[in-house]
Amino acid sequence: MLPLPDRICMRQKDILRHDQTLFRDPEVFNPTFVPEHLHHRDAHVRELAFLVRPALQGGSPRNAILRGPPGTGKTTTARHIFALIAEETGQVLPAYVNCRQNQSSAAVYRCIFEEIYGYAPPATGRHLDDIRAAIVARLKEKNACLLVCLDDANYLVAAGTYNLLLYQLLRLYEGWDGVRCAGVFAVTSDLAINLYAEADRPVQSVFHPTEVFFSPYTKAEIREILADRVRQGLYPGMMPAPLLYRIAGIAADERDIRVGLDLIGVAVMQAGRRRGCGGRSPDGHRAVTPDPDSRALTGGTHTSLPDRGAVPGEGRYDFRGGL
């Protein structure tokens, strides 16, 4: 038998490997999660799909500015469109860039390279012009045009790189034969900044963006979105409806759906710690499986959420035809 200190050490390590969870899929509550269907952003998806469609007809995608307060679905909608593009066509190569984390020209181009190649360029020893040339080579190889999402583009404005990057991206075709105009979706949560006005005249002459505004979700909309995430991310019966309504109310007061997603995650983790977990779910994960009389997460009366069909969802979008 191992000495007592070694046994204690092993037990402490087991805590980190504890596999019992109330989550079916914890990633569903991550702010970066992109659902297959977006609720209450149908018009926004249609508008962005309309702007992409010319690229599927041999032209170039149109530009857009996505504005709205934090937590209103701007990034999720842009990522949703990019996922559809990647799935439906090879004529457009989408590249998402988080400008909060990548504010220099070199960092942005490295992100674009990684997005369209699937791996990062060498960390050192490669000049920025070489990375840009490699991006163009990929576009020519695929006979595709580039569509870049500059998320939190206001950070580029603050860093002083916004105008140069927009100018270079929108005029990418000028330096190489056979390359179509790129498109840019610039995203901002800073309503005090006008991204079009921040562009200088040479950039404005080629930018011409369509503004797509994202209003805060209503309480009812937040409740529907959170209910759908609960169905995807938790085992049945884990989230009582009264608790879900309370969380939706808090998120609505904050005007940020991410608050609701975070509160659900915190509530579930705290409940799992209080209850302990037992039983194995059908898909093999350790999870609490409450009996019909269980009090689920809150100690209150167990209430089931309506089935998935009760929450309306939007369908898929055909970039080639009518929406």
- Comparing 14-28, 51-65, 211-225, the range with the smallest average pLDDT is 14-28
Predicted structure pTM score? 0.79
Beta-strand pair 92-98/64-67: unpaired
Task: State percent of the chain over pLDDT 90.
Answer: 63
Q: Residue 299: what pLDDT?
A: 43
Inform me whether the pLDDT recorded for 173 exceeds 80: yes
Inform me whether the pLDDT recorded for 150 exceeds 50: yes
Could you read off the pLDDT of 66-82 as tens digits, one per residue?
999 999 999 999 999 99
Inform me whether the pLDDT recorded for 102 exceeds 50: yes
Q: Residue 22: what pLDDT?
A: 82
Inform me whether the pLDDT recorded for 196 exceeds 80: yes
Which of 9-18, 225-234, 309-318 is modeled with the greatest confidence?
225-234
Backbone angles phi, psi at 14, to 5 degrees: -60, -30
Task: State the Cα–Cα distance between residues 226 and 311, nearest whole angstrom.
Answer: 11
Indicate the pLDDT class of residue 272, thresholds 50, 70 and 90. confident
Task: State the Cα–Cα distance between residues 112 and 96, nearest whole angstrom.
Answer: 7
Indicate the pLDDT class of residue 301, thresholds 50, 70 and 90. very low
Amino acid at 203: V
Query: Cβ distance 303 to 249 under 8 Å?
Result: no
Inform me whether the pLDDT recorded for 229 exceeds 70: yes
42-213 fold = Rossmann fold (3.40.50)
CA angle 259–97–142, rounded 5-degree value: 135
Average pLDDT, the chain: 82
Backbone angles phi, psi at 58, to 5 degrees: 90, 0
Inform me whether the pLDDT recorded for 315 exceeds 60: no
Inform me whether the pLDDT recorded for 222 exceeds 90: yes
- Comparing 13-22, 112-121, 245-254, the range with the smallest average pLDDT is 13-22
Q: Residue 125: what pLDDT?
A: 61
Q: What is the CATH number of domain 18-32+218-310?
A: 1.10.8.60
Locate the domains of the chain by residue range: 18-32+218-310, 42-213
Q: Residue 98: what pLDDT?
A: 98
What mean pLDDT comes out for the span 103-110? Answer: 96
What mean pLDDT comes out for the span 249-262? Answer: 94
